[in-house]
Amino acid sequence: MPISTSTVRKNRVAAPTGQSSNNNSTALITGASSGIGEALAYCFAKGRFNLILVARSADKLKALALELQKHNQVNVQVCAADLSHSGAAEKLAATLDRKKVRVDVLVNCAGVLEQGAFTGISPAKHQSIIDLNISGLTAMLSAFVPAMAERGSGRVLNVASIAAFQPIPTLASYAASKAYVLSLSESLAEELRDSGVTVTTLCPGITATNMLKQAAGANDKLSKLPGFLISDVQEVAEMGFKACMEGDAVCVPGAINQAAMIASRGTPKWLVRRIGGLFGRKAI
């Protein structure tokens, strides 16, 4: 089966009304203060989408908003919020509804990672992964997708990870949370087929972001990864943006990551676990 350079699974539909690249449409991006979320903000601004930037750090968001407005003819709003808190997504949706702001594209990029042996990570940190990567993302979908389905137009881009395709020792909770994101997103992509709403899952591999720097700071073995395994954050974001605009269901940037994904789905589970365990133990 031929594989494209970025996308391995497709569920394309015609672009919903108002979804062309112009500044009549609005994209809401969570986790926009850094990493892939910040890079995606640049992609959507370049595509002439008005933006709603969401993250915990208001100062970082304001600085990014000024930069985006300076170089692009778009309107950028900042909403500081911690989406790991119960009710945060609903509060955000209610605020935008009062302002009569319609979200045409929802980008769920907010996430946290803890690297290390499961038994060495505190229960609170495991819970923080669940609260943001799973509960927060699900709440955002529940808050914004019904309105998209009702009007018959909208796009969703959920950022998962190549870790979603196989168990990864030393990233057990994180990988499990991203497997949830992938499964939920693929289910919604089919559930909303022909509704005018598309759901895309971006599954990047190891990417040069602050998250990687922080993990490498806690484990110097990660700093010795060969360069060809580490993706450029802007290239990853551009592939995700393109896949979202085209209505692709799953986007895996990079030939190496695609090969790993295909291998994990076509290899017996016991062997996938053994291989993951071999590499995982070397990373501890």
Read off the pLDDT of residues 55-91 as tens digits, 9 standing for 90 and up: 999 999 999 999 999 999 999 999 999 999 999 999 9
Q: Where are the domains of the chain?
A: 19-283
Count of C-beta atoms within a 10 Å radius of residue 104? 21
The stretches of the chain forming alpha helices (DSSP H) are 35-46, 58-71, 88-98, 123-129, 137-151, 172-191, 210-218, 233-246, 255-266, 269-283
Q: Rounded to whole angstroms, how far apart are CA atoms 80 and 161?
A: 25
Q: What is the pTM of this model?
A: 0.83
Q: Which 3 state secondary structure label does DSSP give 209?
A: coil
User: How are strands ordered across the β-sheet holding 197-202?
Assistant: 7-10, 248-251, 197-202, 154-159, 105-108, 26-30, 50-55, 76-80
Q: Rounded to whole angstroms, how far apart are CA atoms 200 and 240?
A: 8
Enumerate the active-site residues. Answer: 174
Read off the pLDDT of residues 157-214 as tens digits, 9 standing for 90 and up: 999 998 898 888 888 999 999 999 999 999 999 999 999 999 999 999 875 455 544 5
Q: Binning pLDDT at 50, 70 and 90, where does residue 24 land?
A: confident
Bridge partners of residue 80, in order along the sequence: 55
What is the dotted CATH code of the domain comprising 19-283? 3.40.50.720
Question: Is residue 119 exposed (0-12), middle (13-18) or buried (19+ Cβ within 10 Å)?
Answer: exposed
pLDDT for 15 equals: 42
Contact 194, 142 (CB under 8 A): no
